[in-house]
Structure 1
Amino acid sequence: MSTVETLRESVETFKNASTGSQPKDVYAAQQWEMAGAHAMLMNGLLTVYEKSSSVPEDKVQLFVEYALQWVAVLEHHHEWEENLYYPLFAPKFNTDTIVAEHETFHAGVESVRDYLVSCLPAGTSWGYSQTAGPHEQRQFDGAHLRTLIDAFVPALCTHLLQEIGYLEPEKLRASGLTEAEVKHIAAVSEKHMKSMPPHTFLIYTILHAPKGSGFPPVPGPVKNILAPYVFYLPNRKLWQFAPKN
């Protein structure tokens, strides 16, 4: 199966697991939100992969910065899991296996990040307030980027699919986690997500959630008014590459 086919299949799988509104059942909501986040991540990577073959010369830097938004959102996703979200499940629900799987694709994602940053002028801001340090700028090569992505997509998709299985509501209930404990986990996580920059993190999430997914679970006025008319504007040159849902 090609990288594009693998990514498209993953997007469909995660989209189907995150349709409709966020479940009222707090156990089911954990799996629904994770599936929605994964659908967004895979849709974002698919977009980068497909559009990297036809980037206009005068838009190369913008595309590189756009692609680095995907790197930023993926790295944030796994840092959030490792340092905030999954530690809250302990000791009743062991998440060591989930977190350990991150190593299967970490080096590949780093290779993509380092390559993309090397294609930016030194001093350029990217992601969430990161800056490209001093370096000899490389010429962007879409074929090379796709080769780097090819190398880690199988491991990444395998992990994301297995993670949804780990978070089945029945397994969370069987662990002994009470409804109050899971609600606390959800509340801490929600507070963290709200602290992320809306002009990059939130708008990226909204733009890349595939049509049919109910994710992200933000209020209608935020998704339909603030996102397109306020949060979109500061980095609108980057979002020209985003999928048109």
Structure 2
Amino acid sequence: MTETTKGNGIANSPFKFIETPAHAQNAKKEPRDQFVRVASLMVLAHNMIIRGLNSIYLQGPLVRPEDNNDFIHYALCWYQALDAHHQTEEELFFPQIEARTGEKGIMDKNIEQHNSFLAPLEAYKSYLISISATPQKFSGKHLNTLIDNFAPPLFVHLGEEISSLLELSRFGADKLPLADIWEPIARKSGSGLSKTGAFVFFFLNTDHDFEDGLWSRWPPIPVPVRAVLIRVLGRWNKGWWRFASCGYNGKMKRLHVYN
């Protein structure tokens, strides 16, 4: 990856967002085919991961020394959100797909892809944890080098997993009610996140204007409740959230280091 540049000051680069199948097929109104729906919801989760990583990659080399500690913890929240997402898939979602279809190992390709970037991803986490003891020594350029090590296989996976979900349509909705499987799991998936850490990170890297606001109601929490919830939880570790890609209003904002 080339050196970071100021660009437009928002986190829409260097890593590209994924288009939802619903948007690609112009399926903008409910009801949608359940396989298109679940694959699209997975894209939204993946784009949160991408948006968060962009915010880290762009800002890391430019963080002021006095802000290093907050940024280190913000970057750790990204790891925690990604790790929880993959654990949810491997422990809850994929086993149910396997059980319903009767095809053992049907989602193994996705698990293998998780494993393909596990070692460099752990190096990213280990660096952040170790440097948190001496934040004055933090190097955003070094962190970006670590990101460059896992980004290629990560982004292959984030795209190909969507295709693998769409391909499940061959089983039909009666045999594989994918939406009925995924949506309860998704509702519970945030329960394992730190409510003052990765949980807030998730919401502050979710863009309600994505695809012309098609997904403005995702995740399915009433907007007033969501706003109050995040503002209250965001009071803890407030310094971390300066680096988020989105504001409390759910819209992408100019990144902190460019202000």
Q: TM-score range by the shorter chain?
A: 0.7 to 0.9
Report sequence identity in percent.
28
Is 1:66–2:64 an aligned residue pair?
no
Q: What is the CA distance between 1:96 and its match in structure 2?
A: 1.0
Give the whole-Å Cα distance in 1 for the aligned partners of 2:163 and 2:73. Answer: 33
Change (3 A) 1:26 1:218: farther
Give the whole-Å Cα distance in 2 for the aligned partners of 1:161 and 1:35. Answer: 8
For 2:163, give the aligned amino acid.
Answer: G
Is 1:220–2:223 an aligned residue pair?
yes
Q: Deviations over 1:77-104 (max 9, x none)?
A: 1111111111110141611111111121
The aligned counterpart of 1:232 is 234
The aligned counterpart of 2:110 is 98
SS in 1 for 2:204: helix
SS in 2 for 1:178: helix
The aligned counterpart of 2:163 is 165
User: 8 Å contact 1:31–1:164 — kept in the other structure?
Assistant: yes
The aligned counterpart of 1:124 is none
Change (3 A) 1:99 1:137: same
The aligned counterpart of 1:208 is 205
**Which of 156, 170, 190 is the matching residue for 2:186?**
190
TM-score, structure 2 normalization = 0.76
Give the whole-Å Cα distance in 2 for the aligned partners of 1:22 and 1:155. Answer: 33
Q: What is the CA distance between 1:204 and its match in structure 2?
A: 1.3
Q: Deviations over 1:140-197 (max 9, x none)?
A: 11111111111111111011111111111xx323124527743441243034225234
Q: What is the CA distance between 1:59 and its match in structure 2?
A: 1.2
Change (3 A) 1:32 1:211: same
Give the whole-Å Cα distance in 2 for the aligned partners of 1:193 and 1:186. Answer: 10
Q: What is the CA distance between 1:110 and its match in structure 2?
A: 0.4
How large is the RMSD of aligned CA atoms in angstroms? 2.8
**Which of 19, 30, 42 is the matching residue for 2:38?**
30
Change (3 A) 1:240 1:40: same
**Which of 109, 119, 130 is the matching residue for 2:121?**
109
Give the whole-Å Cα distance in 2 for the aligned partners of 1:193 and 1:37. Answer: 11
The aligned counterpart of 1:132 is none
Change (3 A) 1:66 1:50: same
**Which of 13, 18, 29 is the matching residue for 1:8?**
13
SS in 2 for 1:234: coil
Q: What is the CA distance between 1:3 and its match in structure 2?
A: 8.3
The aligned counterpart of 2:83 is 75
Give the whole-Å Cα distance in 2 for the aligned partners of 1:106 and 1:242. Answer: 24
User: 8 Å contact 2:60–2:144 — kept in the other structure?
Assistant: yes
Give the whole-Å Cα distance in 1 for the aligned partners of 2:22 and 2:33. Answer: 14
Is 1:149–2:147 an aligned residue pair?
yes
Unpaired runs of at least 5, structure 2: 6-11, 247-251, 253-259
Give the whole-Å Cα distance in 2 for the aligned partners of 1:194 and 1:237. Answer: 22
Q: What is the CA distance between 1:28 and its match in structure 2?
A: 2.3
User: 8 Å contact 1:10–1:39 — kept in the other structure?
Assistant: no
Q: How many pairs align?
A: 226
The aligned counterpart of 1:126 is none
Change (3 A) 1:202 1:11: farther
